[in-house]
Structure 1
């Protein structure tokens, strides 16, 4: 389902998005609003519960009402199949809880997991068009699962990003605003994160889709010509340029003959990481690194990527493996990126995947720096627990002592790390 631009007031506070189609007969409610008050995007705590016979002047008004109700109650909304008149206009429609129906058979592609678990929930409303107005004919308000009003804004079905918000993000991105600062420019408009109908991840996903490789005019041709000259001088130079459906450059991978030769000897364990070029293009730069017999880092391949999703990483890993004649790796070390993790499981079958401790320790000040005792013992206690524990038993003992001493048993980040300690 293509995105649709909506008529909304000229104010950054009104930020809505049409969410992509979920499956063949099930879509998320998409709205085309006329000028509304800024409060339309905020969660209305006073919206009434739906009842049979309620009247709505338009399909858009019905959608907006049920979305508000769902946000207050704490569940996502989907649109089920509807019946049309012979002329093609909608006559009946159903709006239901996102947990409505049954989950399809588990997909074999682990990189495309079902984002919402179907529980057979019966909560829904049926509406019928009569003389130009919509009337509720069936109302079910009971759910068979827990509701989360406090988390409603973060549900995939409630997160929205509309045309004016997209333009703002693109302008900021072109002006070299960092991704962390980009959403912040919209927060001030609505006076707090809790009033934004999207999260930072939605901004990242949008920028990933529109960014592509920001080469100047003719840049793709220049890059192709440069690689051609290098291949003429180095027979073993390998490069692949990935194009989209409109023949625009999307991803690039390259490796020289020395790196290919080094992989045959030092490719048992590799590190894969991402960084951003410090220039106006801000393109994600990906690189494979190994360690030789002198303990020196050696480059084993590099690429420029247009996005950082699972499919892009799968393309890069498969391309890299192909140029290495399919020689499998024994282990790979990355950061905790979920898209990387999914792609590695699909491409590097049997390889041991581990998280980079350096990346984890970099997050400690951000996650725990506000703790009252961070500089008075907590920082040293964490480093001692991690670096000085020589056995699993010793680590577990030190970890539990750390949590109890600094009252961190309920810290979600530390609990998540401990749960993923096998990585």
Structure 2
């Protein structure tokens, strides 16, 4: 018999008793048939008297039987403060109480009480005894209810309250709301029949095909799978080329197919979605997201993204601040604005509020302009006490365009990327798909994605979109950019039709222009706005107040118009981003994926060379001298094979 802490300390054995039952006081010589009976008896006695019970120590014989053990009051012993600030010590229940019983193995194989101390050094309260940890018991019926409600999406707070009402009050509930720890422990990936085994087999097969396949598995104390993360070799290599911006969206497959799928998505030089790893998670709290983000960061060699886009979620926000403190975090504007009907749909002036809020958010070109319009919104419709708007204003640096335009987002919004993920798994996942089937189909979806990129690469090199103007700078973009991105440049050039420019200031080679723009929002609505464009001929810099280049990496129509107006035949090289170029060889194209057999001879040679380096790097990394020696030799080889 093993009297381990796990068996007795965490959750007591069944200790419920009839309210009218009187438990006899412990005395030396009392006998019990087993250690469990001793424990059960002393638990009932402790609850009747008003003190908690825990195991102090025990001794096991050579035959494996426990020779003796001690059960004590929960307030026994002393506690040394571990608080960082000695002026703010943490609370403790340890005060050195000596009440206890000693049970010794007898000749019949049972246990006899050999020592008894009934004196407590504190006040015992039977009414409050239920708050001791040993009495916080979750029985089978309650456990089942918790699990069902949790799977149905009922939040922990309501889950607990329903049981309080059913029991007739808090005093009749043998646990407290902190039983959320129990739910967290019980939560595991609901994988379906054969799901866990299929996942493990899949990971082993992928890693066997390519040692750069990466995965991590998170299990609970009972070795039940809670969360998993994985990324194939090609995705890991592609991240090195496109690590500037990612989106993290848990809503698509979770909502559509009840599959807790959490993908990390980026965008390539064609503007196509790329999967940079993904997870399956059992919970959506800060602890789970922190585990997932740390797994992903470890997979990507501790290189965080420059920027990350997520839904507005406090748990995700907190996890990102801890794991990616240097990354610029942005909320999905689309997810926020789609909540308007729910928040104000019943308001008598809903349409006015909606229109005013949209203008405030979308038309404000500066932070000051947004602040003024937001203040007018609250004043006009008396919305100062609206909690939702209050929370949005507090988080304005995470979602309002005026505050985030100065950061490069590669043209990504979470709405567009979610649509990309939808298309990513079209024809591969449906509402009846099990995890085992999903694993089988996952590779097919990735293979199609690689093929789509290969086709786009081919088209960008072997076809071209004719220029729509006679400006040489358009030819410059046509020659450098992929077709998808060149089309975006042409969209800006078409906008020249709606621009009017006026020189505001000119000093030496520095120009300042006002550019008036007209954008058709709908069949009946045209939005007009003025932008400031500054050009410095000496520094070869052009900046526009719309900040499209900073935001999307595409030079805006306003800046392009001023360049052409001043007779500039080329765009400064800093405005032709390598990220969108079609003529750059990116290393991930030479990496064989775990899910595809390469027929590319160059890729095969790359793999052969890379495999030779695995053992070499591992051995050289053991000492600093070998590391330096290898690096020097590699530098010589780089010159030879340049």
Q: Which TM-score applies when normalising by structure 1? A: 0.57
Q: Could you tell me which of 323, 327, 330 is aligned with 2:303?
A: 327
Shift of residue 400 of structure 1? 1.1
Q: Could you tell me which of 359, 374, 390 is aligned with 2:365?
A: 390
Partner Cα distance (2:170, 2:341) in 1: 27
Q: Could you tell me which of 162, 168, 176 is aligned with 2:145?
A: 168
Relative to structure 1, is the Cα distance of residues 133 and 418 closer, same or farther in structure 2, using a 3 angstrom cutoff?
A: farther
Partner of 1:301: 277
SS for the counterpart of 1:422 is helix
Shift of residue 92 of structure 1? 10
- Is the 8 Å Cα contact of residues 243 and 266 (structure 2) preserved in structure 1? yes
- Is the 8 Å Cα contact of residues 62 and 134 (structure 1) preserved in structure 2? no
Relative to structure 1, is the Cα distance of residues 3 and 397 closer, same or farther in structure 2, using a 3 angstrom cutoff?
A: farther
Partner Cα distance (1:134, 1:33) in 2: 23
Q: How does 1:17-416 map to 2 (within 5 A)?
A: 104-105=83-84, 162-163=138-139, 164-173=141-150, 177-179=152-154, 183=158, 187=162, 190=165, 206-233=182-209, 235=210, 238-244=213-219, 245-275=221-251, 277=253, 282-366=258-342, 368-369=343-344, 371-373=346-348, 375-416=350-391
Partner of 2:581: none
Partner of 1:4: 11
Partner of 1:12: none
Relative to structure 1, is the Cα distance of residues 314 and 120 closer, same or farther in structure 2, using a 3 angstrom cutoff?
A: closer
Cα deviation per residue 1:168-190 (whole Å; 9 max; x = unaligned)?
Answer: 121345xx523369947974993
SS for the counterpart of 1:250 is strand
RMSD between superposed Cα atoms in Å: 5.3
> Larger C-alpha radius of gyration, 1 or 2?
2
- Is the 8 Å Cα contact of residues 207 and 213 (structure 2) preserved in structure 1? yes
Relative to structure 1, is the Cα distance of residues 134 and 208 closer, same or farther in structure 2, using a 3 angstrom cutoff?
A: closer
Relative to structure 1, is the Cα distance of residues 419 and 281 closer, same or farther in structure 2, using a 3 angstrom cutoff?
A: closer
- Is the 8 Å Cα contact of residues 276 and 282 (structure 1) preserved in structure 2? no
Relative to structure 1, is the Cα distance of residues 236 and 394 closer, same or farther in structure 2, using a 3 angstrom cutoff?
A: farther
Partner Cα distance (1:411, 1:62) in 2: 50
Shift of residue 327 of structure 1? 2.6
Q: Which TM-score applies when normalising by structure 2? A: 0.40
Partner of 2:33: none
Relative to structure 1, is the Cα distance of residues 364 and 61 closer, same or farther in structure 2, using a 3 angstrom cutoff?
A: farther
- Is the 8 Å Cα contact of residues 274 and 286 (structure 1) preserved in structure 2? yes
Shift of residue 406 of structure 1? 2.1
Relative to structure 1, is the Cα distance of residues 373 and 320 closer, same or farther in structure 2, using a 3 angstrom cutoff?
A: same
Shift of residue 288 of structure 1? 0.7
Structure 1 alignment gaps of length 5 or more: 8-31, 37-57, 65-78, 80-86, 95-101, 107-117, 122-126, 139-156
Relative to structure 1, is the Cα distance of residues 135 and 225 closer, same or farther in structure 2, using a 3 angstrom cutoff?
A: closer
Report which of the two has the higher share of helix: 2
Partner Cα distance (1:282, 1:348) in 2: 28
SS for the counterpart of 2:201 is helix
SS for the counterpart of 2:202 is helix
- Is the 8 Å Cα contact of residues 389 and 395 (structure 1) preserved in structure 2? yes
Relative to structure 1, is the Cα distance of residues 397 and 59 closer, same or farther in structure 2, using a 3 angstrom cutoff?
A: farther
Partner Cα distance (2:391, 2:301) in 1: 37
- Is the deviation greater in 241-250 or in 286-295? 241-250
Cα deviation per residue 1:122-180 (whole Å; 9 max; x = unaligned)?
Answer: xxxxx9x9xx9999979xxxxxxxxxxxxxxxxxx9xx99544432121345xx52336
Shift of residue 328 of structure 1? 3.0
Structure 2 alignment gaps of length 5 or more: 1-5, 20-44, 53-68, 92-96, 100-117, 125-132, 399-642
- Is the 8 Å Cα contact of residues 164 and 170 (structure 2) preserved in structure 1? no
Shift of residue 206 of structure 1? 4.9
What is the number of equivalent residue pairs in this alignment? 325
Cα deviation per residue 1:233-274 (whole Å; 9 max; x = unaligned)?
Answer: 5x3762313143444333222223332233122211111121
